[in-house]
Amino acid sequence: MRMARALLVVVLAACFVALGLPGGAAAERKIVGIYELKKGDFSIKVTNWGATLMSVILPDSRGNLGDVILGYDTVAEYVNGTAYFGGLIGRVANRIANARFTLDGKSYRLFPNDGNNTLHGGHRGFDKVVWTVEEHLAGGRSPFITLYYHSFDGEQGFPGDVDVHVTYQITGRHALSVRMNATARGKATPVNLAHHAYWNLGGDGSGSVLGQKVRLFASRYTPVGAALIPTGRLAPVAGTPYDFRRPAAVGARIGGLLSRGVAGYDINYVVDGGRGLRRVAAVRDGASGRAMELWADQPGVQFYTANGLSGVRGKGGKVYGRYGALCLETQGFPNAVNEPSFPSQIVRPGEVYRHHMLFRFSF
């Protein structure tokens, strides 16, 4: 096995403050780095702070290179950030109603960080911890990096120890694979990992994505109540602002949401098809000519149009505003742990949760 070498390693005091770690030897064991994978004119950067994807750089139709995800220049900014830019979300992504659930007759209380609900794993989810770099191959035919995190029994209120891995790998000339897995140890526990990249194919900080075209391979969605908790129903997208079965501009029907007081898209879709890797979404930016196709093996995908961004200062001092990106977070259904009719997210001791995403870019 080829051990990782950081291209740029920075020891961040802010990390240790955030984690409540002392200095000295303990701090030395928690080194945070930035790691690059590169193949031709396609490259990404990852940090082991939150297993975060920091950049995705690829050409446009004229050959000009650009970064197509939002984020920050330094790891310290990710430590203090609240937008989940590029983070690996867990132990359970999305929302859990009333920050509680019952499993095998025992009730568990979680950390509420979204009103009365738990969002993206709680106050300190997997995107706010230091991961261990197990392997890193920066170049060659198929560059990759594998990161590991041990989630302890009781972390943010969740039961049982869980061993988590994520591998980012450039698998083709312009293809990025993200493989996640988690093994439960000792106790049954819910697991629902997600990747939270903010995509703007025109380039980060290039403005609104409302004109970019999206197609979602989903004919149903999970309606939500006022707190964005699913009602438990599956509803058809036909005749609603949520219908992207054919390519349409992101903003084409957003007025139907705004008129109801909804800030934009932030909803889980039920991906069509059976099990296994299948098409989830396609996005195209007319100005740059860049296109992205997403394949995954999860039952749902959260489509989010960065409704909460407002004056966030990102890479190179660029200011990100509302609708400055879109997220496509493949996942299990939100609040599934409290909805018996939804596909189960429970992982029993010794079982392995698996989640594969594949991004294919063209221009």
Binding residue numbers for beta-D-galactose: 94-95, 196-198, 266
DSSP annotation of 13: H
User: Residue 159 and residue 102: Cα distance in Å, rounded?
Assistant: 11
User: Residue 13 and residue 77: Cα distance in Å, rounded?
Assistant: 12
Catalytic residues: 196, 329
Q: What are phi and psi of 25, to 5 degrees?
A: -60, -40
Q: What are the strands of the beta sheet with 8-10, ordered from one edge? A: 8-10, 32-39, 42-47, 52-59, 65-67
Angle in degrees, CA 112, 117, 119, rounded to 5: 80
Consecutive H or E run containing 27: helix 24-28
DSSP annotation of 206: S
User: Residue 306 and residue 265: Cα distance in Å, rounded?
Assistant: 8
Q: How many C-alpha atoms does 78 have within 13 Å on its Cβ side?
A: 34
List of residues 6+ apart from 123 with CB closer than 8 A: 111, 113, 156
Closest CA to 47 of 131, 123, 126: 131
Q: Dihedral of CA 19/25/29/30: which sign?
A: positive
Report residue 316 as tokens. Answer: 């190179």
User: Residue 114 and residue 123: Cα distance in Å, rounded?
Assistant: 9
User: Residue 175 and residue 40: Cα distance in Å, rounded?
Assistant: 12
Report residue 354 as tokens. Answer: 């698996």
Report residue 317 as tokens. Answer: 């001092």
Burial (0-12, 13-18, 19+ Cβ within 10 Å), 184: buried
